[in-house]
Structure 1
Amino acid sequence: MKVSVAMATYNGEKYLKQQIDSILSQLGNEDELIISDDHSSDQTPAIIKKYISEDHRVKLFMNDEKGVTSNFENAIKRTQNEIIFLSDQDDVWKPEKVKTVKDYYEKNPTIQMIMSDITVVDNQLNTTIESFYEFRGSRAGVLKNIIKNSYIGCAMSFKKELKTKILPIPRNVPMHDMWIGLVADMNKSALLIPEKLIYYRRHDATVTSVENTSSLKDKILWRFQISSLLLKSFITNR
């Protein structure tokens, strides 16, 4: 199974090289790293272009819109291979990540989305939360993840056939990863595996969060919105 990695970047020069190196070391010659950049103003594009000049697997596309969701959508829609991994710009993949996930897909042919556990770390990769699963109470299930989302994109991968069901990602969902996880749940094709396969780095400039800080009003609104969107998507893709 060939692999595509869909990475979203934005002013990520500080940790980007470490993340890219941890990914490329696990990819085969026919795999690819697709990067969508959200109009970075630092050295992020220059770092990526240097990789492009040295490695045919790395490709860069600029995000036509602005924002995390559209940036990931832009990367995802450019991917070509059978298994698509999502990637942040500032984490570190453990060396066994790609092989472990591919093995699970081979053993579970009906599964379309796999998420692993992760270890949350600080700037220097010191552990701050040993298990994201334990911290968020992660498990699959539509109702469970509408009530309290436990999906996190950096630990996700999915098969190519799921792309038609998740794209375009609605702009009024809280985050892209929640949408992907719930669409997989609606199709009874989500699998959460116990292995911790990423060092998930938290720092002052991090865009995403392990905690939900939305207001009660916003939480009620997006739960209603995402429930309606999921039902519509499920009917459309039947």
Structure 2
Amino acid sequence: MTTFAVVITNYNYAKFVFEAVESALAQTRPAAQVLVVDDGSTDASPQMLRDRYGNDPRVTLLFDKNEGQLAAFQRGVAAATADVVCFLDADDRWKPGYLEKIGAVYDARRDVDFIFSDLQTFGIDQMDIRYENSGQPIDLGYTAVSTYFLVPWYGAPTSAISLRRHWAENVLDLPHSFRRHWKLCADACVVHGASIMGARKYYLPTGCVEYRTHGSNGWWATRQDPSAIYRNNLRNYGIVRQYAWRVGLDDGCSVQSKYEYRTKPNPTRKERKRYASLALRGNAPWWKRYERALGIIMGHRGHKG
């Protein structure tokens, strides 16, 4: 049976962190490890965590200087020994059935490397965040070529992503200098890195991830700011190119888009549009490229052109 390590990253969230940790400990399918990484908090968090969990064998506390979210991810994953790593922000929480639901897929599908879930926000806003507004599971297959060219978001915010440990280790094997660029929103490294490096992805709406909105959230607070959107898009493009360089992807990989598309058992309409646009790339005659694109749009996954 698949085992889970929960990596909870905290920075100055003394008023929230206990709720996150307790939600991880309350899972109907218990985690093998609950790793709380405190990223140099200057509030009461460190002492509060020591007082409450210092002698709790279920919880491992990791303290270090403040270097940001990417560094905290790296420290947590380095201490993980379980099969799958799940991330949880210190200001979020899970309902008790989260690990049980994603565990059922990891147990049954050894080919699935990365699972992400839907979220429900609470606090300032109350809304559902679903991948392509879907309430149904979606096997996304492989997503490297699509991510290389189009940089779509095949994932979710931190608290709704999980991946097999060896993938987490590989994805987070980034130069130390990257830590200063990814003090916030380091979930982009995990999401895009897993795609480019070849993880098979699966969307599983669980209804179990609760994302707290309180005005200080890194992504949520700036999601409608044009300057912030521009900067984040540049960073996402850059991290995709970093991973592509590591695995040797270049523009020539467009010829693989038709094969990547065939790994998707039931692609969504938006996914068909993505791969139709990819089919138009490359050096094949224009009529052949248009034939491929039309085949994808019409839903012919087995198109052989």
Q: Deviations over 1:55-108 (max 9, x none)?
A: 212111123451122122222222111111101001120110011111110121
Which one is further off, 27-36 or 65-74? 27-36
Which one is further off, 166-175 or 3-12? 166-175
Which residue of structure 1 lines up, in the alignment, with residue 204 of structure 2?
A: 193
Q: In the TM superposition, what is the alpha-carbon distance from 1:12 to its structure 2 partner?
A: 0.9
Looking at structure 2, the residues matched to 27 and 62 of structure 1 have their Cα atoms a distance apart, in angstroms, of 28
Equivalent pair of 2:117/2:205 in contact (CA under 8 Å)? yes
- Alignment partner of 2:111: what SS? coil
Change (3 A) 1:162 1:61: same
Higher helix residue share:
2
2:205 pairs with 1:204: no
Which residue of structure 2 lines up, in the alignment, with residue 43 of structure 1?
A: 44
Looking at structure 2, the residues matched to 50 and 33 of structure 1 have their Cα atoms a distance apart, in angstroms, of 16
Equivalent pair of 1:63/1:74 in contact (CA under 8 Å)? no
Q: In the TM superposition, what is the alpha-carbon distance from 1:191 to its structure 2 partner?
A: 1.1
Unmatched runs of 5 consecutive residues or more in structure 2: 250-305
Q: In the TM superposition, what is the alpha-carbon distance from 1:17 to its structure 2 partner?
A: 1.4
Which residue of structure 1 lines up, in the alignment, with residue 191 of structure 2?
A: 181
% identity of equivalent residues: 19
Which residue of structure 1 lines up, in the alignment, with residue 94 of structure 2?
A: 93
Equivalent pair of 2:121/2:127 in contact (CA under 8 Å)? yes
Equivalent pair of 1:120/1:132 in contact (CA under 8 Å)? no
1:143-162 matches, within 5 Å, as 143=146, 147-149=151-153, 150-162=155-167
Higher relative contact order (CA closer than 8 Å, sequence separation 6+): 1
Which residue of structure 2 lines up, in the alignment, with residue 163 of structure 1?
A: 168
Change (3 A) 1:65 1:14: closer
Q: In the TM superposition, what is the alpha-carbon distance from 1:113 to its structure 2 partner?
A: 1.0
Looking at structure 2, the residues matched to 217 and 104 of structure 1 have their Cα atoms a distance apart, in angstroms, of 36
Q: Deviations over 1:128-169 (max 9, x none)?
A: 112343579xx8545369544353111011111113321224
- Alignment partner of 2:110: what SS? coil
What is the TM-score when the length of structure 2 is the normalising length?
0.66
Looking at structure 2, the residues matched to 79 and 168 of structure 1 have their Cα atoms a distance apart, in angstroms, of 14
Q: In the TM superposition, what is the alpha-carbon distance from 1:47 to its structure 2 partner?
A: 2.1
Which one is further off, 20-29 or 34-43? 20-29
Give the greater-gyration-radius structure (CA): 2
Q: In the TM superposition, what is the alpha-carbon distance from 1:212 to its structure 2 partner?
A: 6.3
Which residue of structure 1 lines up, in the alignment, with residue 128 of structure 2?
A: 130
Unmatched runs of 5 consecutive residues or more in structure 1: none
Which residue of structure 2 lines up, in the alignment, with residue 52 of structure 1?
A: 53
Which residue of structure 2 lines up, in the alignment, with residue 218 of structure 1?
A: 231
Question: How big is the alpha-carbon RMSD for the aligned residues of Structure 1 and Structure 2?
Answer: 2.9
Q: Deviations over 1:186-233 (max 9, x none)?
A: 314111112222111010333442726463753563344223212123
Change (3 A) 1:43 1:28: farther
- Detail structure 1 runs of 4+ shifted over 6 Å in the superposition: 27-30
Looking at structure 2, the residues matched to 135 and 16 of structure 1 have their Cα atoms a distance apart, in angstroms, of 29
What is the TM-score when the length of structure 1 is the normalising length?
0.83
Higher strand residue share:
1
